[in-house]
Structure 1
C-alpha cells in the first residue's frame, strides 16, 4: 500500500479541471509547403513499414497519428504558441532547418500512438533520440495546459443529455456514466523499486481510473497512484469521491421510479467498487431474483462503456499499453492525462475513434477481478429501487 505521503502525486490529477485556455491561432511563421513536406517525406519513408498501412493518404495519416488531418491541425493550433515561442536548443533536423510545429506535433503523437522507442520514432522522422525526447515532453507540457478544457465534468445541460441517452438505451434513470480502472505497467530502476509500486500481479504499475459517458468520452480521470492499491481504496483517495460524499457532485435532480421511489444521480461500477448511494454495483451470489438478474444485465451493458473506452485508449495510444521503460513517475501522470485529452479531442471534434486499433483482449489482461464487500444502506435501497423499476418496465412492456 502506498503511504499517505504519496498523495503529493495527486497534484497532477485532472479532477475538476477548471482551466480552459483559448486555443492559440495558427501563426504564419511556418510555410504551407513545409507543413506538407514533412508528411509526404514521412509517408514515403514509412509506407511499407507494415502490411496494415492503408494506401489512401487520409487513412494512412490516421493510421500513423490516430487523428484526421483536420483534428491534427486543431491540435497544432493549441500548442503552436508554446512550440514557437520557446524553441529548445537542438531541434534542428539533418537539413539544417528548425523543425516546424507540425513536425514536432507529429513526432510527439507518433511516439504516443506507436509506443515505439525514441530511437525508432526518430529514425522514422530523420531526427535523433534526444530530439524525440525533447519534442514529446514539450508537446505533453503544452497539451496539459492548453487542452485541459477537453476534460471537464459536464455542466447540468450536458449531463441531462448524457442521462437521457443512457436511460433511452439502457432504461436506467439518472445514470451519469460508468467507472473503471486499469494498470499502466512500467519497469523501474532497481534504486526506485519498492513494494509501493508492485501490484497484486507482481508488476510495477500506476493506476488510471476513468468515468465515461455514452460516447466513450472521459468525464473524470484519476491517476498517479500506485497499482498496489485496491480499486476500492483508489476511488476513496480521489477528489471525485470526496465531492460525491459531500454532495457537490452527482447532486442533480432526483427522479421517481415507476413505483414512486426516489432515484438520485449515480454512476455504474463493477464489484471492485463499494456499493454507495451514488455508485451502483451488481448483485452478487446465487439464486438471484428475476429483477436482480435483469438489473445486472443492464448494469453490465453500461459498465461495458468504461471498459471499451479504456481498451480504445490503450489501443490508440500504445505507449500506455506497452511496458513503460523506466518512466519518471512524476511525469507519467502527465503522459496519461494527455493521452486521455487526445482521446476526448477526437470525439469532441467529430472525428472517429479507430475501431481497428482497440485492444482485442481486456484492457487489464492478466489482472484478477477484485471484489469489494462494502455496501451502505442507502446504496442497497437505491439498487433495489432501480431493479424494481426495471422489472416494472419489463412487465409493462410485455404485459
Structure 2
C-alpha cells in the first residue's frame, strides 16, 4: 500500500513539473521584446547622458570636442540649389545692359516694366502666396527666362536663388496670370477699324479682301502616358498642334492649341470656333463685301492646301492638270500674302524657345504655356519691341505633306476664287 501511495505521489510530482516546463512561443517572444526594450532604453539613456556630459565639458573648457581629423571629415557642404541670392538684384537689375536684357528676356527693359505693371494686381493679390515675398519683377523675370531659354528648372533655381519646385510653380502661376489678364486684350479678332486696316495691309501685299492667314504648327512634347500614338505626328516625333490666324502685322488674332499631333490640319479647323462662325456667316460683317467681276467677294482668310476651299477660306489652285499661267499668278499672290503666318510662327518660336524643344511638362499644362507665349508675342509687337526674324532651327511646316482631302468645293467658293484670280492678273503689285 505504501509502495502504491509513493508511486502515485511520484507521478503527481512529475506531471506538475511538466506543466511548469510547458512553453508558449508567443509568451517567450513577448518576454524577449520586453527585455530588449528595457535594454535599449538603458543604452539610449546612457548615450544621452554621455553626450550631455561631453557637451557641458566642452562649453566649460571652451574647447572643441573634435580633433583635426574629425573636422576634416565633417565638411559642411552648402546647398547646391542656391548659388547666389543677389544675382537678380545686383547682376541683372543693376549691371545688365539693354542688349543683355533683350538677349536673355527677349524684350526690352521698358517693355518688361510695362508687363510687370500689367500683372502686378494679379500677382500681388492678398489671397496669393506666390513667391513668398519675391517682387513681381523677379517672378516675371523667372518666367521669361524659362520661356526664352528652356533651361532646366534646377539651373533657373540656381540663378534666382530658389528651389526648382518654386520655379515650376512660379512659371505656371505667372503664365496663368498672363492668360487671365491679357489674353482677351491682345489676342483680338479684327473688327471695324482694325479689320479695315488689316484688309488694306493685305491688299498692299497684292491680295484683296483678305483679313488673315491660317496655319498649324507642331509643339514638341513628351510622349503622354495615355494614347501616345495619337500624338506621334507625320514628322516622326510627339507633338501638340497650335492653330493660329495671323494678320498683316504678324499678330495672332485667334489661337487654338491642344489637338494631338497626328490630327490633320483640316480636322483641327473643323473642330474650332472659326469654322463654326465661318459656316454661320459670322466671321466678318456682311457689309464688307466687294464686287469683283460681278461676283460678291466677302472678306476671307487664306490657308495652305491642307484646308478646304470655302467662301470664307481661300487656298491655292492645285498644280496639276489644266494649271495655267493665270492660276500661277494667283498662287504666287496667295503664297506671298500667306507668308505672314509662317513668319509669325518663326518669330514666336525664335523668341520663346521653349516651344522649339520637347516640353516635359504634363500634357494638360502645355496649352497654357503655348497660349501665354502667343500673348507675349502680340504684347511685344504692340510695344514695337522687334526681334530678329532670322531665327535658326525653328521648324518650317512642309506643305507638300499636307494632303488635300477636299476635292468638291462649293460652287460659290470657286466663283470667288476665279474673280480674285482675274483681279490679281489685272492689278500688278
- The TM-score bracket by the shorter chain reads 0.7 to 0.9
Pairwise mapping of residues 247-286 of structure 1 onto structure 2 (< 5 A)? 247-252=281-286, 253-257=288-292, 259-286=293-320
The reply on whether 1:66 has 2:125 as its aligned counterpart is no
8 A contact 2:123–2:130 mirrored in 1: no
The reply on whether 1:142 has 2:177 as its aligned counterpart is yes
Q: CA RMSD in A?
A: 2.4
The reply on whether 1:41 has 2:91 as its aligned counterpart is yes
**Cα distance in 2, alignment partners of residues 390 and 175 from structure 1:** 13
Structure 2 gap ranges (5+):
1-85
8 A contact 2:359–2:366 mirrored in 1: no
Give 1:110 deviation, angstroms: 0.7
8 A contact 2:277–2:283 mirrored in 1: yes
8 A contact 1:283–1:292 mirrored in 2: yes
The reply on whether 1:328 has 2:368 as its aligned counterpart is no
Give 1:78 deviation, angstroms: 1.7
Spell out, residue by residue over 1:60-92, the C-alpha distance to the aligned partner (whole angstroms, 9 max, x if none): 111111111111111111211222225866845
Pairwise mapping of residues 200-279 of structure 1 onto structure 2 (< 5 A)? 200-252=234-286, 253-257=288-292, 259-279=293-313
**161, 164, 174: which is aligned to 2:200?**
164
1:369 maps to what in 2? 402
Give 1:285 deviation, angstroms: 2.4
Cα 1:255–1:359, aligned 2, differ >3 Å: closer, same or farther? farther
**Cα distance in 1, alignment partners of residues 285 and 316 from structure 2:** 22
**Cα distance in 2, alignment partners of residues 354 and 121 from structure 1:** 25
Cα 1:37–1:227, aligned 2, differ >3 Å: closer, same or farther? closer
1:83 maps to what in 2? 123
1:29 maps to what in 2? none
**Cα distance in 1, alignment partners of residues 376 and 398 from structure 2:** 23
Larger radius of gyration: 2
SS of alignment partner, residue 247 of structure 1: coil
SS of alignment partner, residue 166 of structure 1: helix
Give 1:165 deviation, angstroms: 1.4
Structure 1 gap ranges (5+):
1-35, 48-55, 93-97
SS of alignment partner, residue 355 of structure 1: coil
SS of alignment partner, residue 222 of structure 1: strand
Cα 1:39–1:298, aligned 2, differ >3 Å: closer, same or farther? farther
Give 1:291 deviation, angstroms: 1.3
**175, 188, 194: which is aligned to 1:152?**
188
The reply on whether 1:352 has 2:386 as its aligned counterpart is yes
SS of alignment partner, residue 354 of structure 1: coil
2:69 maps to what in 1? none
**Cα distance in 1, alignment partners of residues 169 and 393 from structure 2:** 32
**Cα distance in 2, alignment partners of residues 43 and 198 from structure 1:** 43
**Cα distance in 2, alignment partners of residues 274 and 366 from structure 1:** 14
**114, 136, 148: which is aligned to 1:113?**
148
2:134 maps to what in 1? 99
**Cα distance in 2, alignment partners of residues 201 and 366 from structure 1:** 12
**Cα distance in 1, alignment partners of residues 239 and 258 from structure 2:** 10
Pairwise mapping of residues 125-140 of structure 1 onto structure 2 (< 5 A)? 125-140=160-175
Give 1:336 deviation, angstroms: 0.7
SS of alignment partner, residue 301 of structure 2: strand
**341, 344, 347: which is aligned to 1:312?**
347
**Cα distance in 1, alignment partners of residues 113 and 353 from structure 2:** 22
Cα 1:217–1:39, aligned 2, differ >3 Å: closer, same or farther? farther
**Cα distance in 2, alignment partners of residues 126 and 180 from structure 1:** 40
**Cα distance in 2, alignment partners of residues 385 and 366 from structure 1:** 25
8 A contact 1:174–1:264 mirrored in 2: yes
Cα 1:254–1:308, aligned 2, differ >3 Å: closer, same or farther? same
TM-score, normalised on structure 1? 0.79
Which gives a bigger RCO, structure 1 or 2 (Cα 8 Å, sep 6+)?
1
Give 1:365 deviation, angstroms: 6.9
